Amino acid sequence: MRYHSLGRIPAKRHVQFRDPDSSANGNAPLLVEEVMGFEGFSGNESILYHLFSPCRVKEVGAFTPIVLEEWVPETHVHRLTHTMEMAPSGDAVLGRRVLQYNGDVEIGICVPEREADYFYRDGEGDEVIFVHEGSGVVETIFGSLEYRKHDYVVLPRGTTYRFRFDEPQRWLTFYTPGEIETPNRYRNRYGQLLEHAPFSQRDFHPPAELVTHRSRDEHHVKVRVRGGYQDYVLDYHPLDVVGWDGYVYPYTFNIHDFEPKAGRLHQPPPAHQTFQGPNFVICSFCPRMLDWDPMAIALPYHHSNVQSEEVMYYVDGDYAARKGVEIGSFTLHPSGLPHGPQPGTVEKTLGIKETSELAVMCDTFRPLKLTTLARDLDDPSYAYSWYEDPVAG
């Protein structure tokens, strides 16, 4: 991402910098500089200036392991998962329910019934939250980040934050121990997005306001590390940053700011790519004009995921290639099996000029495992949806 700054920072790094708003007599106290960076000291970084040491802990609480109960199906088939009937449960962190996962990414749903009464930090991975329904503010150490319906909220590891809701929420969630980035092919050697990219820097929104908290009340912070959640108690407010600058910070990107590409003939899924992670991509399928060749077939051609798994989450509109797939559903087309339009759908769409589909896709390049929640929400009839009875037909 591009360079950004909020609040007050000194003219040079690693120099004395005192609290400009301190009411103390004499010299104001020195602020505590924190360098938050990727790849040791070789990747992107930001520098934050705290009122208190970010190492300061009053009490170390319990460590709770994260347990994903794997479901190993007896059959290897295409799967349909319905999630709209999931009842609200948990908060903005513990309410996240994983459906598919591997060593590169966890994909799930969150329908929180309440805000968290603690602050949270993912210590070992980046997070992407797609807001299917809802709006609000993410309070972070980098400042306040407003979000709205159909935003991607990207939260880099190390970001201490807390969601504040304006209305009921429904999220599609991604966690990765890797790094979330825009695709390499969209960026020049300086990191700027190129003219042919489906978005520009203007479409990515960092925190707009930095609120520095000076209270000395106790606050609970939950940190995801080593396959679990570690609880801490602080004797100061964790959002105590006076200023920061750099290239690492949370941001939002709304799916409706993605500029879909069209062609004379069908465009393949990479045309819809929005983010990349290690061994997976996230794509945005948006309303768009369709192929204009008079002989074009507008629907995706049959293809075999020989080296990838395709997860599609349906957000809104009408996805013409699939029958019986509802908003809020997932389809999983695993590696080793061809998939494509269901019988009759190609003929019905010949000559159409546009599509209203809105969906988020994740392609992984290593096999996905399923959780018992995916089992409970599974629609086994989907595997037969390409079958036509030759006698009845």
d(CA 243, CA 33): 10
Tell me the CB-side half-sphere exposure of residue 284, using CA atoms within 13 A: 24
What is the identity of the amino acid at 274? T
DSSP state of 291: -
Q: Which helix (H) or strand (E) holds 45?
A: strand 45-50
Which residues neighbour 359 within 8 Å (Cβ) at sequence distance 6 or greater?
A: 284, 285, 312, 313, 314, 315, 317, 319
Is 186 part of any known ligand binding site? no
Taking 3-state DSSP, the helix, strand and coil percentages for the chain, each rounded to the nearest 5, stand at: 5, 40, 55
Is 333 part of any known ligand binding site? no
Q: What is the 3-state secondary structure (H, E, C) of 120-183?
A: EEECCCEEEEEEEECCEEEEECCEEEEECCCEEEEECCCCEEEEEECCCCEEEEEEECCCCECC
Is 309 part of any known ligand binding site? yes
Strand partners, 221: 119, 232
Is 237 part of any known ligand binding site? no
Of 124, 90, 121, 123, the residue nearest 108 (C-alpha): 90
The catalytic position among 219, 220, 266, 302 is 266
**Would residue 266 show up in a list of annotated catalytic residues for this protein?**
yes
DSSP assignment of 189-249, as one string? TTSPBPTTSSS-GGGEE---B---------EEEEEEETTEEEEEEESS-S--EEEEEES--
Instruction: Point out the residues that are catalytic.
Output: 266
Q: Which residues are annotated as a binding site for Fe cation?
A: 303, 309, 339
Q: Which residues are annotated as a binding site for homogentisate?
A: 319, 339
Q: Which residues are annotated as a binding site?
A: 303, 309, 319, 339
